Amino acid sequence: MTSVETPSFTELEAIAKRVRRDIIEMITAAKSGHPGGSLSAVELLVGLYFDQMKHDPKNPKWTDRDRFILGKGHAAPVLYSVMAEAGYVPKDQLNTLRRMGSIYQGHPDVRFIPALEASTGSLGEGLSVGLGMALAAKMNGSPSRTFVMLGDGEIQEGQIWESAMFGSFHKVDNIVAIVDYNKIQLDGWVKDIMDLEPLGDKWRAFGWHTITIDGHNLSEVRNAYVEAAATKGKPSVIIAHTIKGKGVSFMENNPKFHGSAPSADEFTKAMAELA
């Protein structure tokens, strides 16, 4: 098990910076991919893998490990980079993203990286799979907890709300859903496509302990995970307000960078900003 000591925020910030650089490099090399929703999720994932989750990169199939599922599978670059930082997968091959034969497939694929918990890419399914895993842990008397990251567009899927009902009805208190609330989906702004508000009220009405934070503030991220862990008898959801494209000025709040790679010039500019 890693994270014997609590890492400092300075350490976590340094990792987050490297992850952002990886994301830009990988997607530029691939000439396609999803930078916006990868950059918005960086602190949330760094907080999990380097601070909160009990896991062991040397023993990825350890039965009692905590599990993570990237429901919004198109944000694969952030997960690959974080898993590489943690030592699950080779860092020097990150730039093979989306190439034939690469373990870094366009969407997380357990056939290529067995340390992944689920193959995702079709939105709306990760929370259900995570609930199944969390329930299995309870049945086995395992302390394992499961974390599922959801996109705000993703939670328009009806299945999310079926799983939300399931989670509270079955008192699955070892699951944490994380909504990366970056306000933008593929075609534009969430409020123009299918508004989610009042989002916190919805989750509360579905019986979830609801924690609202700034998803780029590492201290708030840590406190949210700690609060979720301490919440018994019901599942927890963290509604993390984030900025799509966070860290690269021209990508921030720009729907164009949901699913397009930076040009050579944009790459240079982005890397300078992330220096």
Ligand X SMILES: Cc1ncc(C[n+]2csc(CCOP(=O)(O)OP(=O)(O)O)c2C)c(N)n1
Q: Does 98 bind ligand X (CB under 6 A)?
A: no
Is position 216 an interface residue for ligand X (rule: CB under 6 A)?
no
Part in contact with other proteins (CB under 8 A); list of ranges 53-61, 85-93, 117-125, 236-244: 117-125
Considering only residues 134-153, where is the footprint of ligand X by CB under 6 A? Answer: 151-153
Can you count the helices (H) and strands (E) in the chain?
A: 10, 5
Q: Could you say whether residue 32 binds other proteins (CB under 8 A)? A: yes
Helix axes 158-169, 126-139, angle to 10 degrees: 20
Q: How far is the CB of 232 from ligand X (least distance, A)?
A: 29
If one asks whether residue 25 binds ligand X (CB under 6 A), the answer comes out as: no
State the Cα–Cα distance between residues 239 and 61, nearest whole angstrom. Answer: 29
Q: Which of residues 154-183 bind other proteins (CB under 8 A)?
A: 154, 156-158
Binding-site partner at residue 231 among other proteins, ligand X, none, CB < 5 to 8 Å by type: none
97-116 residues near other proteins, rule: CB under 8 A: 98-102, 105-107, 109, 112
One-letter amino acid of 231: T
Find the shortest distance in angstroms from Cβ 188 to other proteins. 9
Residues 222, 51: contact at Cβ < 8 Å?
yes
One-letter amino acid for residue 8 of the chain: S
**CB neighbourhood size of 243 (10 A):** 18
- Cβ 8 to other proteins shortest distance, Å: 37
Task: Locate 43 and state its tokens.
Answer: 């602190």
Taking Cα atoms as reference points, which of 222, 224, 264, 197 lies closest to residue 28?
264
CA distance 7 to 195: 37
Both structure tokens of 214: 């700034």
233 binds, among ligand X, other proteins, none (CB under 5 to 8 A by kind): none
Q: Counting contacts by CB under 8 A, is residue 29 touching other proteins?
A: no
Residue 62 or 166: the one with the smaller Cβ distance to other proteins is 166
Sheet holding 236-241, edge to edge: 67-70, 146-151, 175-181, 236-241, 209-214
Which residues bind to other proteins, rule: CB under 8 A? 30, 32-33, 73, 98-102, 105-107, 109, 112, 119-124, 153-154, 156-158, 185-187, 192-194
Which residues bind to ligand X, rule: CB under 6 A? 34, 36-37, 40, 72, 74-75, 121-124, 151-154, 180, 182, 184-186, 244, 258
